[in-house]
Amino acid sequence: MQKIVQHTLPLLLLAITTTFCIAADGQLAVKIIDQNGDITPARAWVEVGGKKLFQPSTPSTATPYAKDKSFSCDGRFSMSVPAGQAIVHVEKGKEFLPVDVKVMIMAGKTTDKTIQINRWIDMPKQGWYSADLHVHLGSNDPRILKQLALADDVHLIPSFTYWLRGKGETWKSAWPSEDFTQPILIDDHHLITRNNIEIERIDFNAAPGATVGATFLFNLNQSVTAKRYGEHFPTDAALCRSARQHSPDSVYDSDKPTWAESVIGAPLGMLDTIQLCHNHYHRLKTHFGGYGMIGPLSPGESNTAAGDGLFHRTNSVYYRFLNCGFKLGVSGGSAIGVMPLPTGYNRVYAQVDGSLTAEKMWAAIKQGRTFATSGPMLSLTANFQSMGSTISLSSGQPQTVAIKTNVKSAEQLESLQIIHNGLIVASINLLKETPNPTVESELTFKLTPKRSGWIASRALYRAPDGLLRQAHTSPIYISVDEKPTASKEDAQYMLRWVDQLEAFAKSEPNRFPDTQAQQAVLDIYKEARLRYEQIINDAQLHWNE
């Protein structure tokens, strides 16, 4: 009898414990609706005691994303939740106000909850559509991509079919099928494309400038390949040049201004856009820099997240590219599937005439009719011209340019600023403007340009870690006497950058399989060098620098 008790008692305790745990949980069933009462896809999580629950029991179509501790769903979900008070968080991209709803969960019972999420702005009604230019999650699953587009309200999701890194995989020359070149239409305001690739060659431990970086190639007619490739060759610019031969409407985007070879693609016309709202800006904090990004080339520069170093370096290097005369629009991306961010946390908005199509979106992005944002909505005009336009002036008849920028935001803003040739020429403090539930502000400024250049605007706010976030427009360009935009100081900065790249290529021949591959890279670098030298000459000739 004693022997039976010894074996039975643990089983009895296990049964009692299991029953207690089950009884201590309840079921939460949520339906998400919009302001019209229609069920709408969204992103959500449930928080209990500071812990985020993000794996619904039903439906099976919900897509948990562990890195962000959230999930996307088609408008309904249920999950087992510990009894007591829970907070249901629901969000739907940038144009809807996120909500946190307190729910009391009863042990052993099902709690039904309908949560309404309301739109605070309708950008498509104003002709603006968003895209996240860095999407990895669901790349081979159109169902997931459709759900992400609707749940995070991203109007264009250009998913990467290939992610090429220079080693370990084949650089394929064709898409998996012809279907991959055709957009997937979800509804009038949402679509997916898959004829896109990322070429990423980075090294977490690389010295500054010692690795290539990451370039995105969008809207390709066919894939991009190379007979020989590695972690350091061929250059991204050479690959983009090859792609443009068969895909003239393709768009090339630099993941960050400070990637080592951004300095090469820009002067050769092999970059159309640069991400100012990039994947190092997370929900709660700023991810550190590094990964082989070019090191500081002037006093006071930093790629670290501390003290807004990465933010200021991201913007200032972009401004230097513009001061060299390169027409580069802004863009944004989140790297869902890699970074702890939902789709479209960082995104770009493009102005489209008429109905949404992939062709119109890419044309608008390429032409710079865009602004990038991690939250606020931003507009800019100069003499009634919008982003991507060029205003022609004559020095013989000095003309004032009337600039107006407007911001609307559900975030608490810090300031709204107008930037001219890299300098803040007008700013308004918005810290006293509390969103209720949103805030709107306008800033005007009159400028009499004395040389060719550009104008842009940005709205700044702070993330939970106290560091800067932004919305930033693409430039409006100014041409004075049809002379080129050129800055000696900024071109010299770029030449110091090229110097570093050439030094790595020459001093480390083991990067290449032979001298032919090495020389091909050095030849591309030389092309860029000659362009920067010409910019210095233009600055001296036209602007007496």
Please state, in angstroms and rounded to a whole number, the distance separating the CA atoms of residues 525 and 505.
Answer: 10
How distant, in Å, are the alpha carbons of 70, 97, 311, 440 from that of 73?
Answer: 10, 17, 33, 31
pLDDT beyond 50 at 10: no
Provide the mean pLDDT of the chain: 94
Residue 492 host element (H or E): helix 488-507
Please state, in angstroms and rounded to a whole number, the distance separating the CA atoms of residues 498 and 396.
Answer: 38
Residues in the chain, total: 545
For residues 319-334, average pLDDT = 98
What are 383-434's pLDDT values in tens digits?
999 999 999 999 988 899 999 999 999 999 999 999 999 999 999 999 999 9
Query: What's the distance, Cα to Cα, between the start and end of the chain in Å?
Result: 101
Please state, in angstroms and rounded to a whole number, the distance separating the CA atoms of residues 46 and 99.
Answer: 12
Q: How far is CA 125 from the centre of its chain?
A: 23
For residues 168-197, average pLDDT = 92
CB 84 within 8 A of CB 4: no
Give the amino acid at 399.
Answer: Q
How distant, in Å, are the alpha carbons of 189, 404, 452 from that of 396?
Answer: 47, 25, 14
CB 66 within 8 A of CB 11: no
Neighbours of 288 (CB within 10 A): 13
pLDDT tier for residue 168 given thresholds of 50, 70 and 90: low
- In this prediction, what percent of the chain has a pLDDT beyond 90? 89
pLDDT beyond 90 at 332: yes
Please state, in angstroms and rounded to a whole number, the distance separating the CA atoms of residues 71 and 335.
Answer: 16
- Helices 488-507 and 515-543 cross at an angle (nearest 10°) of 170
pLDDT beyond 70 at 8: no
pLDDT tier for residue 169 given thresholds of 50, 70 and 90: low
Give the amino acid at 408.
Answer: K
Please state, in angstroms and rounded to a whole number, the distance separating the CA atoms of residues 499 and 493.
Answer: 10
β-bridge partners, 31 = 76, 114
Please state, in angstroms and rounded to a whole number, the distance separating the CA atoms of residues 39 and 178.
Answer: 34
Residue 431 host element (H or E): none
For residues 510-531, average pLDDT = 97
What was the pLDDT predicted at 7?
43
Give the amino acid at 440.
Answer: E
Residue 179 host element (H or E): none
β-bridge partners, 45 = 89
CB 458 within 8 A of CB 412: no
What are 340-357's pLDDT values in tens digits?
999 999 999 999 999 999
What was the pLDDT predicted at 244?
96
pLDDT beyond 70 at 5: no
For residues 225-233, average pLDDT = 92
What was the pLDDT predicted at 468?
96
